[in-house]
Amino acid sequence: MQELTMEETFDSEVNKSCPNCGAELKFKPGSHQLLCQYCGYEEFIAQEKSSFEELELQHYLKVVGENAYTETIELLNCKNCGANQHVEENYKSLDCVYCGEPLIREDIEKEGWILPGALVPFQLDGKKARQLFKNWVRGIWFAPNNLKRAALAPEGLHGLYVPYWTFDANLYAAYQGQRGDYYYETQRVRTKKGIQTRQVRKTRWSRVSGHVSGFVDDILINASEKKRREIPEKIAYWNLKELVAFSPKYLAGFVTEKYTISLKEGHHRSFREAKEIAYNWIRRDIGGDTQRIGHADIKLSDETFKHILLPVYISSYRYNGKEYLFYINGQTGVLSGSRPYSFWKIFILVLFILVFIILIAIFAQ
């Protein structure tokens, strides 16, 4: 179990500068190195711990309480969408990653947080992410012609570490239920063609009870909730085998978001997922063709958690006064975006199809 070291300042290691030229070093995606973008100097990020710790959950919930924290972090809070953002390096101006609202340096606040235990480093760099975005814009149908120009402003794309809670536990569930086995009966039915027979499926139910148990690994709960902008389901799959022990050096050059869902609330949500898992195990245990679960007493023990950071690129762009968002998974490159449609392109296509149908109809006569 990790000892709580309050007031240990999280930003003690930040603003690492290049020993050659003094410029700020940034994390190089796809590596475990810091890179100087001016002179090319590279430095390995030392893996301090050989493996990252799972923290014992009950200790945090009971002893440390709702506002559990282990360190402090400097944060900018977006007045518009509520996202908490942290930036490692010095910067002149910064817009909210999610909504583009300007963030004011003077508004910086120090807040406590549970230091992340692990993170998945960015695999794609900004250049690659922009290329994927460009290809996507090129490939979409019925997009307004000047979309590309509007969408590809380089300052619009940000790499963001998004906070998640993960929970592990031993699960035990005792259940009572019913097992359904299908069988078929032949029925005679009267139709226009006369009497016919058909097979009708029936279910034979029998009472069952038993228990299931096992280890539940890495239930992933999104720890940041904003008023509108959620990370789309489609891109929210990361290979957690690539988690590395947390070091603030991986954050250099990216924006980090602080969780807005507390550990307690995250744990609460994880139970819903644990219940789903338990029900699946129970259904498999009951067997047969279909199952009814009457009662399940689910118990979790030896619960542990991690606070982890996962990489996403976000580009928010405005088009005709409306805002659109585009997301890329920073590990896998999977993308998802919302997009405008060109009214005139669709209108002309529909017109063209109508004319075509009319011409065919005329020639057919």
Residues near Zn ion, by CB under 5 A: 18, 20-21, 23, 36, 38-39, 41, 78, 80-81, 96, 98-99, 101
Q: How far is the CB of 25 from Zn ion (least distance, A)?
A: 8
DSSP reduced 3-state for 4: coil
Quote the CA–CA distance of 335 and 128 in Å, as a whole number. 12
Q: Would you say 99 or 208 has its CB closer to Zn ion?
A: 99
Quote the CA–CA distance of 283 and 242 in Å, as a whole number. 32
Q: Would you say 305 or 326 has its CB closer to Zn ion?
A: 326
Q: Specify the residue for token string 């890495």.
A: 218
Which H helix or E strand runs over 357?
A: helix 343-364
Q: How far is the CB of 334 from Zn ion (least distance, A)?
A: 23
Q: How far is the CB of 96 from Zn ion (least distance, A)?
A: 3
Amino acid sitting at position 18: C
Q: How far is the CB of 237 from Zn ion (least distance, A)?
A: 25
Q: How far is the CB of 107 from Zn ion (least distance, A)?
A: 13
Q: Would you say 99 or 309 has its CB closer to Zn ion?
A: 99
Q: Would you say 83 or 278 has its CB closer to Zn ion?
A: 83
Burial 2-27 (b: 16+ CB within 10 A, else e): eeeeeeeebeeebebebeeeeebbbb
Which H helix or E strand runs over 112?
A: strand 109-113
Quote the CA–CA distance of 307 and 248 in Å, as a whole number. 14
DSSP 229-291: -PPPGGG----GGG-EE--GGGGTTSEEEEP-S-HHHHHHHHHHHHHHHHHHHHHHHH-SSEE
Q: Would you say 229 or 339 has its CB closer to Zn ion?
A: 229
Q: How far is the CB of 145 from Zn ion (least distance, A)?
A: 29
Q: Would you say 175 or 259 has its CB closer to Zn ion?
A: 259
> 177 near 294, Cβ under 8 Å?
yes
Quote the CA–CA distance of 100 and 177 in Å, as a whole number. 52
Q: How far is the CB of 249 from Zn ion (least distance, A)?
A: 15
Largest CA distance in the chain: 94
Q: Would you say 222 or 331 has its CB closer to Zn ion?
A: 222
